């Protein structure tokens, strides 16, 4: 197989949500991103420079046959400022939401998170904290956006991301507790937290929407230190996610030993 103009244009177009929807494809760029995902998704194309093949080709043995391309071609297909030496194009998987699994696990829900870097980092945090499912409102940024994929650092291979009517799913999961972070919530460090439930994180600028907020059963507050001190107005949503999930896990850490 060789790189044609039509294939080059196809890969380049995957930077847009419209092209990803129409083709059912997404892309991963760079050595770490590709090698961390190559065994978890179905590759349609693998493009690499000869230099990459010479140094890393063994990583693809038995998985996929790469198309050797010039660096100029990589630059024309890449979404990155500095083009990588390998690009993989995968089929978007069909992921089914297992509602029964949610009843016995800690699940993350995202309400209108817009920044690709934030979503990618949140997926990486969820992977670290053992959260296997993330529920997203339909107006949350597309998980297959190349910037999201890049920011996950391979965690997209292990975390299932579902786009759902969040209000409907939360109502179906009742009486499973639903947690959210608010300025008038209960101190997260003094509240007893369970091993299962749904943790909702809100939009970067506006937080959790009113409709979703009404479904939150337990309002949490991440206090500044010292309490009452004048600080920044808010935390970045990815940072707040890390703090919140960490406290859930910390309270039950002894269960692992």
For residue 88, list its beta bridge partners.
28, 46
Residues (pLDDT < 50) of the chain are 257
Compute the distance between CA of residue 130 and CA of residue 107 in angstroms, rounded to an integer: 10
Compute the distance between CA of residue 257 and CA of residue 247 in angstroms, rounded to an integer: 17
Report pLDDT for 256. 58
Residue 253 DSSP code: G
Compute the distance between CA of residue 117 and CA of residue 141 in angstroms, rounded to an integer: 10
Report pLDDT for 161. 98
What are the pLDDT digits (tens) for 53-100?
999 999 998 888 999 999 999 999 999 999 999 999 999 999 999 999
Q: Are 218 and 239 in contact (CB under 8 A)?
A: no
Strand order in the sheet with 106-110: 160-163, 133-136, 106-110, 197-201, 178-187, 218-221
C-alpha distances in Å from residue 6, one per residue of 23, 50, 70 = 13, 22, 16
Among residues 79, 190, 82, 95, the alpha carbon closest in space to that of 134 is found at 95
SS (H, E, C) 174-214: CCCCEEEEEEEEEECCCCCCCCCEEEEECECCCECCHHHHC
Strand order in the sheet with 86-91: 25-29, 86-91, 43-48, 67-68
Report pLDDT for 226. 82
Report pLDDT for 255. 63
Report pLDDT for 257. 42
Report pLDDT for 230. 77
Report pLDDT for 64. 84
Compute the distance between CA of residue 107 and CA of residue 15 in angstroms, rounded to an integer: 28
Q: In sequence order, what E strands does the chain have?
A: 25-29, 43-48, 67-68, 86-91, 106-110, 133-136, 160-163, 178-187, 197-201, 218-221
């Amino acid at each position: 197989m060789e790189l044609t103009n039509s294939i080059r244009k196809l890969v380049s177009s995957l930077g847009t949500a419209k092209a990803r929807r129409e083709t059912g494809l997404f892309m991963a760029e760079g050595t770490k991103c590709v090698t961390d995902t190559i065994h978890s998704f179905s590759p349609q194309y693998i493009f690499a420079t000869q230099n990459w093949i010479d140094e890393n080709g063994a990583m693809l043995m038995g998985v996929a046959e790469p198309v050797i391309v010039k660096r100029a071609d990589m630059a024309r297909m890449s979404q990155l400022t500095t083009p990588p030496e390998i690009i993989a194009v995968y089929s978007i998987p069909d992921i089914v939401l297992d509602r029964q699994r949610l009843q016995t696990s800690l699940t993350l829900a995202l309400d209108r998170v817009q920044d690709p870097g934030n979503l990618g980092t949140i997926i990486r945090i969820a992977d670290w904290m053992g959260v296997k499912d993330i529920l997203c409102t339909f107006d949350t940024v597309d998980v297959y956006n190349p910037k999201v994929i890049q920011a996950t650092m391979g965690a997209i291979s292990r975390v299932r991301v579902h786009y759902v009517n969040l209000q409907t799913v939360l109502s179906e999961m009742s009486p499973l507790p639903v947690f959210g972070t608010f300025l008038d919530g209960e101190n997260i460090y003094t509240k007893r937290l369970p091993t299962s439930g749904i943790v909702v994180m809100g939009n970067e600028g506006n937080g959790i929407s009113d409709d979703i907020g009404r479904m939150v059963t337990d309002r949490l507050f991440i206090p500044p230190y010292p309490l009452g001190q004048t600080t920044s107005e808010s935390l970045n949503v990815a940072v707040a996610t890390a703090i919140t999930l960490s406290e859930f896990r910390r309270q039950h850490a002894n269960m692992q030993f």
